[in-house]
A and B are shown apart, each in its own frame.
Chain A
Amino acid sequence: MISIVTAGLFTTVQDGGRWGFQAYGMPVAGAMDRYAYNIANILAGNPPGAACLEMTVTGDTIKFATDTYIAICGADMRPTLDGRPVDTWSAFPVAAGSTLACGYAVRGCRTYLAVSGGIDVPVVLGSRSTYTRAAVGGLEGRKLKIGDTLAIGRSDTADNRPLLLPDAYRPAGAGDEITLRVLPGPQDDHFTAAGLATLFASTYTVTDEADRMGYRLEGPKIEHGGKADIVSDALPQGAIQVPGHGMPIIMMADRQTTGGYTKIGTVIGPDLALLAQAKPGDTIRLSQCSDEEAVDAFGRERALYEAAAAWRASALGREQYPPRRFTLTVNGQNYSIEIREE
């Protein structure tokens, strides 16, 4: 069991999302930064889809009632364990009675805490993800508050050594300006050539209206060729809606299932993790890409998960070997040599 000692700004239980019920108007929800969420589970030794805590802008202080093993990935909230700094993108054991404190995100926006065994809240429509607008899933369908306690699932892993994720598996240094790749459609034909050119040539700023539902951007106005409204159709994750005012809104995890504004394009899945880490005031560039490039990027993301899992297995495996000691004789002199595998 874990308990919330101080609550972050907006902390919810999230997993891979509530797929399969959009036909009934049920949003998918799920982790906003899919990459950090998946890596956190890999580091913690959890199966894919285990529920984590998603902390936003400011993190929580969390007390652990039992010995366990955790991973922290995503935004750097300067986490400490019993007052000592610990690394983001790392995994380590925590002892019963320990306290993890996460503060303000000095870089990025969302941090994922994976606990070995996963956060155990009731499964609702196939998922533990919290969708706060309809109070579905998670803990009572809401963000966490002081005094909340959460059960932890049974853990299958016996590993308890610290792990620090190599740079190769971390997201490329996202700065204050990010570039997101976009596939045009489904309503790119509702815009003028100048409108499309504006989208791909301009920089946009994240407004204060940026949450789990969507990110409203501000910048040069995108010109429609016809009407800005359509008879509602479905909203994929990453859809760039452009209402009549010409400012793009990128739809995220808690988006409604359908919408009536024209969608000029879709931010590709692998790049949504970058947007999920953007904060108000950050700068966004949008670049056009082809379906082949997008599928390639999607494949690379999946390959990274496999590589990170393989790295973890070998990192844990190697450390099981004790240092090997040799005695070497050179020109009558004995040298004692110790070989450690890093």
Chain B
Amino acid sequence: MDGMRFLNAGEQGLVAEFGTSIDPEINRRVHSTGALIRAAGIPGIREVVPTYRSLLIYFDPLTISRRQLIENVRSLVAGAESGQASTFARVIEIPVAYGGEYGPDLEFVAGHTGLSPDEVVAIHTSVPYLVYMLGFTPGFPYLGGMSERIAAPRLEQPRTVIPGGSVGIAGTQTGIYPVASPGGWRIIGRTPVRLFDPGAADPFLFAAGDYLQFTAVSVADYGAIGEQVAAGRYQPVIRSAPDKGGDKH
């Protein structure tokens, strides 16, 4: 458990920090430790929030002291590391209609990178992306692992409304807007799948620690999947992947 630091985030907040950079291995430790803490059912813990590189643990200081909580987390981590730490990641397929009406900036990204639109799509769909964390808006994934070959700058003038499901590129990052919102990312496609449905029994399509695999679909397939989503019949394609995913930097 080298490098784990405990920081103060108010009398009801404890940060367990695993590093200060964006790194798949640091992030893996964040999620595995978060899962351990949730599974342990420690009385007084209210919520555990994973991020790129740390966990924020909300707790009731009248039920468990900060010192006791730190001891509990330390012993959980020590116990897990001496034993087997087998976790498997989920890979969730995200069907995307690239270009045209759904991806108005695909041509720009192609022009900027010197690739054809088809090549941009081929690279974007070539590897699964690690969901480092969710934030910004409910269900918004911070993804890692996109090839720098398709990196593109943000819009100089952000759009006032980007439709929900839009898939974009900003610098070397890629992501999906779960709900309609303003934004400056280059939009290369759109998925008909709902990432966030507050009324559903399972309101979020994926969690931090999962992988997303974009797949290119035709406009006709986009429509067909959209109808399934609207009717509540859509079943996302989810497969398990070995721990060492394609999240190279």
Chain A residues with a Cβ under 8 A of chain B: 19-27, 124-125, 133-136, 183-187, 230-234, 236-239, 256-258, 263, 266-269, 291, 294-295, 297-299, 302
Contact = CB atoms under 8 A, between A and B. Distances in A.
Given A231-B53, A233-B54, A25 B10 contact: no
Contacts of A125: 198, 203
Given A19-B46, A231-B21, A236-B9, A186 B15 contact: yes
B212 interface: no
A25 B134 contact: yes
A136 B198 contact: yes
Given A24-B138, A125-B198, A231-B21, 5 more contacts: A25-B138, A230-B20, A234-B15, A267-B10, A269-B10
B218 interface: no
What are the 4 A-B residue pairs with the smallest beta carbon separation, nearest first? A234-B56, A266-B10, A185-B8, A258-B135
A25 B139 contact: yes
Contact of B50 (A23, A135, A237, A266): A23
Contacts of A295: 11, 61-62, 65
A266 B204 contact: no
Contact of B199 (A22, A26, A124, A239): A124
B47 interface: yes
Nearest to B204: A24
Contacts of B61: 294-295, 298
Contacts of A135: 179
A61 B137 CA distance: 33
Residue of B20, B50, B135 with most chain A CB atoms under a 10 A cut-off: B135
B12 interface: yes
B62 A234 contact: no
B49 interface: yes
Contacts of B136: 25, 256, 258
Contacts of A134: 137-138, 179
Interface in B14-69: 15, 17, 20-22, 34, 46-56, 58, 61-62, 65-66
A309 B89 CA distance: 48
A135 B53 CA distance: 29
B10 A237 contact: yes
B113 to A, nearest CB: 26
Nearest to B9: A236
B133 interface: yes
B185 interface: no
A131 to B, nearest CB: 8
B79 to A, nearest CB: 23
B123 interface: no
Contacts of B134: 23-25, 257
B129 interface: no
Contacts of B203: 21, 24, 125
A23 B208 contact: yes
A232 B142 CA distance: 10
B128 interface: no
Contact of A22 (B47, B66, B140): B47
24 contacts: A22-B56, A23-B207, A24-B138, A25-B140, A26-B138, A125-B198, A133-B137, A183-B10, A185-B9, A185-B15, A230-B20, A232-B51, A233-B56, A234-B49, A234-B51, A238-B10, A239-B10, A257-B134, A258-B133, A269-B12, A291-B66, A294-B11, A297-B11, A298-B62
Contacts of B137: 25, 133-134
Contacts of B10: 183, 236-239, 266-269, 294
B189 interface: no
Contacts of A136: 138, 198
A26 B135 CA distance: 7
Interface string B194-220: 001011000110011000000000000
A239 B51 CA distance: 16
A230 B198 CA distance: 31
A136 B140 CA distance: 15
Contact of B133 (A26, A187, A232): A232
Contacts of B179: 134-135
B8 A186 contact: yes
B238 interface: no
A269 B11 contact: yes
A181 B204 CA distance: 37
Interface in B101-134: 133-134
